[in-house]
Structure 1
Amino acid sequence: MKINKKLISLVLAGVISSGFLVGCSSTSDKDESNSGKEKTFVYGTSAYNPSLAGINPHKGYLGWAAIRYGVAETLFKFNDKMELEPWLATDYEIVDDYTMKINLRDDVTFSNGNKMTGDAVKACIESLVRLHDRAPSDLAIVSVDADGQSVTIKSENKVVNLLNYLSDPYAVIIDVSDFDEAGDTCIGTGPFIAKSVTGEEIKLDKNENYWGGEVKLDKVVVKSITDGDTMTMALQNGEIDATQGLPYSSLDLFRENDEYKISSANTSRVYQMAYNYENKDLQNKKVRQAIAKAINKEDFTKTLLNNNGTPAVGAFPSNFSFGNEAVTADTFDLDEAKKLLKEAGYEDSDNDGYVDKDGKNLTLRWLTYPSRMELPLLAESAQASLKEIGIKVDVNNTENTQDYLNKGDYDIYASAFVTAPTGDPQYYITAHLVDGAANNFGHYHNDKVEALTKELRNEFDTKKRSDLAVKIQQEVLNDCGYTYASHLKMSFVMKKNITGFEAHPSDFYEITANTDIE
């Protein structure tokens, strides 16, 4: 079966140091006309931070920075309707159920001048599979063969969503002949070249030989700003040109000021609670149900997030056929939560305000991180509501979550995850819900989920894949395996003279060749 060029559907507090004030000055402030001047775009974001330092796509989730900041690109990409379309590739052919041939553009060079060939793409994919934590199970590659400007990939699984996975940021095409596997940077095909990469900032220069046309900016500085008040003040003072991650309480300051503009998009990023099943208390389903019933999703989304999101039922938002509208979960009910705890044998025997069992209070270690400003707010909300049903919550809000996850020093891990950036449900399910999944830190296991996921991996039909995704989610929700709080509405706030910088529902296309300061 051959399919060519097909699109697939699938206020303010904090002190800013003088060094920051001087270092962030943007070209648009120095010379409003920018005539004859270098254009430097300064971008402040909470999504890049020391715990996610680097743009090496073969390490964890660092490919997100590589693609977001215009360093590297994938073979296919998603449009704003989450349909796949060619990017570094021209088209593809499904040779058989387990084999796909991808044809490549003939006019693409890496930023070091080397041509992107089939051999270069083959080497990149093989390096990815060898080094990355999620890619081997996602892609299940048996072999990659190169022939001129094409690559043929054979997989252990049917290639039902191979292109979706190859459009994940970890699959950006980089020149591995000029690559330090242990390093923090890479050579890509994008409009910008990373000149300096640290945990605090990335400095990029224009790729003068970009294959995709004129690059309108000369330089880009991406700054890590994890404090909301600092970020708000930096934008107000003109120290940055645009930002992502502003506190919701600050958005109205810029929405009501015609010197700024906002670009927003509904995304599949979910704020979720994953349980550590090594905790004997949490092995009791009634305890997990009580916790789920004590999470006030409506209040969290409407009050704390200022309506910049929607309450979640399952892992996916309502704009997907396998999203919120297709599944059901426990609803907020403190009285029922208290009843469930009592049925599980937890009562406040010493009248200290917390339930106990066998002489021990039910205390949960809540692990989260500050770089997503919504997560500390979720911790605050959950801590208050869980206290009402007699559960004590100790919050650990740290950027070093991986250390605690590795050691198992937590009971609930609250995180933010984009569940369908590739427009397909398998991405999230195989990363979180099955045995051995890279993000199944708490060792969740469900026999039915395992069996249904096996079916999903081998199903081509879109409707059947959607139905399987619904069944898998419903099994997890019936089991109270995970609890989902809210889906995010993402907003970029920028000066009014910034163009070509638009929020995207996939949450990983940001700075492009068209981004400009007018």
Structure 2
Amino acid sequence: MNKKTIFFTAALGIMLLLSGCSQNNSATTSPHSEKIFHYGTMAYGTAMQDAGINPHDTYCGWSTVRYGIGETLFRFNKEMKIEPWLAESANQLDDYTVKITLRNDITFSNGKKVTGNDVKTCLEDLLKKNDRAPHDLKIKNIIADGQTVTIQSSEKVPALLHYLADPYAAIIDMTAGEKDRIVVGTGPYVAEKVTDTEIDLKKNAHYWGKVQPKLDKIIVRSITDGDALSMAMQSGELDAAQGLPYASLSNFQDTNKYKINSAATSRVYQALMNYRTPVLQNNNVRKAIAMAINKDQFVSVLLNGNGVPAIGAFPDNMPFGRGLKAAPYDPEAARRLLAQAGYTERDADGYVLKNGKPLTLRWLTYTSRQELPLLAEYAQSALKEIGIKLEVNATDNYKDFLKRNEFDIYAKAIVTAPTGDPEYYFTSNVMSDSPYNNGAYNNPDVDHLCDQLRNTFDTNKRNELAIQIQQHILDDNAIIYTAFLKMSFVMKKNVTGLEAHPSDYYEITPELDIN
């Protein structure tokens, strides 16, 4: 090869290399390149035991709706008022019958039109498989006719439309089935992969809504360690994060880099007593425990003020959360109550004794809500002050301990009014036959009032009944309500369309975008 040929070849190689680099760079920055959104959350698959998106399976429906995979017949606006979503309208024919008319333009993500028969089949499967739905809906019969669905209940269900806005009622295509934990919904995004720790989403090409999804792909990552979630957000691995510990929010105050969007919710940290535990069958002991907890201190110190001390099950900005009285913080009175219960001696470590035996209790909680372990540590210290020894079990396998009844106090974070109505919480958590009455609480007066609530349509009367029910729970010291939380999203400055909602349901929507 002569020198001219060598020079030409080398020059051509450099030109091609530069051209290739230019094309790669152009593909990254081009407006036609894929928009991929990275989302971190502590909520998905709570403690890894609700990982999945089939709404009929326990609480997996929250993931179905939160991550834009499925939608319900009705939904809540920001004032927590019910409004149609997949439904066009609803007509209450009588106390037991509701006729729902569906929109005529809805398709599943596989392109199949949603009909009344699809809704009927979906709801019937829900009733077979979900442990809460039959108890809530009381459905006796469903009649499908074209784009209408008529639901006949075995009892009066004044809150039926509210229950149909629960994520468990997300409408999925039953003919498509479930494969690798994936179901077919109607939302703006489609699940491509579902694991214990991640959901990969792609844009729904058949989305029926007027606003079309703006992102090509979304990666939802479950990061249950609060520090790890915060670091991933700070390092730029994530575009947005939900569920960051309140102590971490101070890291994201630079408005040139981040935005924080928050909403007050009815999510409360509560600790329920296990009535199967002999020592907790004494109300003096339960009340002593309640009086040892300084709720104001928990909110101001451990939550950094990002919450409100709780009295009952609902915040006082709701009409059925007012006028209640709970046991006040009073450690000295708590010690007297323990003495009245027979705990008149103390051991060398200061723990109370009865017949030579210390009062030792097992506190069960989980870790996917960062503040729950903090609440456990605080309770351990507070109860030691009055002489009760608390053994804390903060575990991802909390459900196994619940099933085996290996706990005395169970603390969890729960949204008490996700339907904008008080009945949901009582029927699922408080009544003697409730599916999530983990403490076996049984008060005939409460059951009677709950039955009245379920058969009352008048809103003011429903509010009065809800207040009466809560006061019974507080008088029994069956559940300690510690604090209501704010829900906060932290996101990069270029993220739009991600807004916190008081129901704690809606997160990934068609409006979500990266500019």
Match of 1:38 among 34, 37, 41: 34
1: CA distance between counterparts of 2:117 and 2:381? 56
Deviation (angstroms), 1:159: 3.2
Q: How does 1:213-362 map to 2 (within 5 A)?
A: 213=210, 214-323=212-321, 325-362=322-359
Which moved further from structure 2: 494-503 or 156-165?
A: 156-165
Residue among 395, 399, 403 paired with 1:402: 399
For residue 91 of structure 2, the aligned residue among 83, 89, 93 is 93
Counterparts in 2 of 1:120-199, with a 5 A limit?
120-180=118-178, 184-199=181-196
Residue 31 of structure 1 deviates from its aligned partner by 8.6
Distance 1:356 1:73 in 2: 55
> Could you tell me which residue of structure 2 aligns to residue 508 of structure 1?
505
Mapped contact 1:354–1:362 kept (Cα < 8 A): yes
Q: What whole-Å deviation, never above 9, does each CA across 1:96-150 have from its counterpart, x for those lacking one?
A: 0000000000100101121100000000000000110000010000000001001
Q: Is the 8 A contact 1:40 1:220 kept in 2?
A: yes
Give structure 1 stretches of 5+ with no counterpart. 1-28
- Distance (whole Å) between structure 2 residues aligned to residue 293 and residue 445 of structure 1: 22
Letter in 2 for 1:271: Y
Distance 2:162 2:347 in 1: 55
For normalisation by structure 2, the TM-score amounts to: 0.93
Q: What is the CA distance between 1:348 and its match in structure 2?
A: 3.0
1:440 and 1:146 map into 2 onto residues whose CA distance is 34
C-alpha change, 1:72 and 1:78, in structure 2 (3 Å) is: same
Judge conservation of contact 2:188–2:510 (CA < 8 Å) in 1: yes
Shift of 1:185: 2.6
For the 8 Å contact 2:110–2:206, the answer to whether it is kept is no
Q: CA contact under 8 A between 1:99 and 1:159: conserved in structure 2?
A: no
Q: 2:113 aligns with which of 112, 115, 129?
A: 115
Q: Per the alignment, do residues 447 and 238 of structure 1 end up closer, same or farther by CA in structure 2, a change over 3 Å counting?
A: same
TM alignment of 1:471-510, pairs within 5 A: 471-510=468-507
Q: What amino acid sits opposite 2:350 in the alignment?
A: G
For 1:257 and 1:148, locate their aligned partners in 2 and report how far apart those are by CA, in whole Å.
51
Q: What is the CA-CA distance between 1:258 and the residue it aligns to?
A: 2.3
Corresponding residue SS for 1:93: strand
Deviations 1:434-478 (A, max 9, x none): 112111011100010010000000000000000000000001101
Equivalent position to 1:105, from 103, 106, 130: 103
| Separation in 2, partners of 1:94, 1:73 | 22
- Taking the aligned partners of 2:60 and 2:180, their CA distance within structure 1 comes to 11
TM-superposed CA distance for 1:280, in Å, is: 0.4
Greater CA deviation, 347-356 or 431-440? Answer: 347-356
Find the aligned partners of 2:181 and 2:475 in 1 and give their Cα distance.
41
1:191-239 CA distances to partner (integer Å, 9 max, x unpaired)?
0000100011000110011001311011111000011111111111110
Deviations for 1:400-436, whole angstroms, at most 9, x for unmatched residues? 1110000000000000100001100000000111112
Q: 1:42 is matched by which residue type in structure 2?
A: H
In the TM superposition, residue 512 of structure 1 has moved relative to its aligned partner by 0.5
Name the structure 2 match of 1:11: none
Deviation at 1:51, TM superposition (A): 2.1
1:438 aligns with 2:435: yes
1:331 Cα deviation from its structure 2 partner:
1.0
Distance (whole Å) between structure 1 residues aligned to residue 217 and residue 101 of structure 2 = 32
The alpha-carbon deviation at position 32 of structure 1 amounts to 8.6
Q: Which letter does structure 2 place at the counterpart of 1:60? A: T
Structure 2 residue identity aligned to 1:44: G
Confirm or deny: 8 A CA contact 2:180 2:194 kept in the other structure. Answer: no
> Matched residues in 2 for 1:416 and 1:32: separation?
42
CA distance in 1, matches of 2:332, 2:308: 24
- Higher Rg: 2
Aligned partners of 2:250 and 2:443: how far apart in 1? 44
How far off its partner does 1:152 sit? Answer: 0.2
Q: Determine what percentage of the aligned residue pairs are the same residue.
A: 56
Letter of the aligned partner of 1:254 in structure 2?
F
Q: Give the distance between the partners of 2:28 and 2:129, measured in 1 at CA.
A: 46
Determine the C-alpha separation between the residues in 1 that align with 2:28 and 2:365.
Answer: 41
Alignment-derived partner of residue 25 in structure 1: none
Aligned equivalents of 1:470 and 1:168: distance in 2? 23
Describe the SS at the equivalent of 1:92.
Answer: strand
1:425 is aligned to: 422
What is the aligned residue count? 488
Contact 1:202 1:221 in 2 (8 A): yes
- Kindly indicate whether the alpha-carbon contact (under 8 Å) linking 1:56 and 1:183 is maintained by their aligned counterparts in 2: no
**Separation in structure 1 between the aligned mates of residue 489 and residue 269 of structure 2, nearest angstrom:** 19
Structure 1 vs Structure 2 CA RMSD: 1.4
Task: After superposition, give the CA deviation of every residue in 1:285-341 in whole Å (9 maximum; x if it has no partner).
Answer: 000000000011101111100011100000001110011x32110011100110100
